[in-house]
Amino acid sequence: MFRRILPVLALLGALILSACGGGSPAAQPSAAPAATTAPAAPAATAAPAASNLSGKITYWTAYLGWHHAERGVIDRARELLAWVESCADAAGNLPEQVAAHLNHPAMLPIWEQRWGKSACPLLWSHAAYITLATHVQ
């Protein structure tokens, strides 16, 4: 389990460093693992690395895109931005999670029975999207 959480923790650490002036050369080695430890996404969907039991998480993906934008990897940040945008419903609402590329597909009905469907709209998904969109432009 810890092995699956490690890339997320590295990403969160990188975001904290970035928010606290992590652009300094001393902070760069600390932020690098977040970009390299996340598993590769399928090229056809540009799906992000951030995932949970029930699917991909839009705000984690937007924060990962923000990390890439801060590091100058704008093409990857734009791919992640496009993926987050593709998750919006017809009214433009972003969900918390998207049931795509599930880690354990058989668990989705159990998850939804216990906790319900993914929250939509989710305020921090929209906030993370706006942050990423601002940094990509």
The burial of 1, by beta-carbon neighbours within 10 Å (0-12 exposed, 13-18 middle, 19 or more buried), is given as: exposed
- pLDDT higher than 70, residue 67: yes
- pLDDT higher than 70, residue 4: no
Residue pair 58/129 in contact by the 8 Å Cβ criterion? yes
The residue with tokens 């939509």 is 120
Q: What is the DSSP letter of 90?
A: T
Residue 49: which pLDDT band, with cuts at 50, 70 and 90? very low
* Distances 106 to 5, 45, 47, 97, 112 between C-alpha atoms, Å: 21, 22, 20, 16, 11
Residue 18: which pLDDT band, with cuts at 50, 70 and 90? low
Residue 100 to residue 5: CA distance in whole angstroms: 19
Host H or E run for residue 20: none
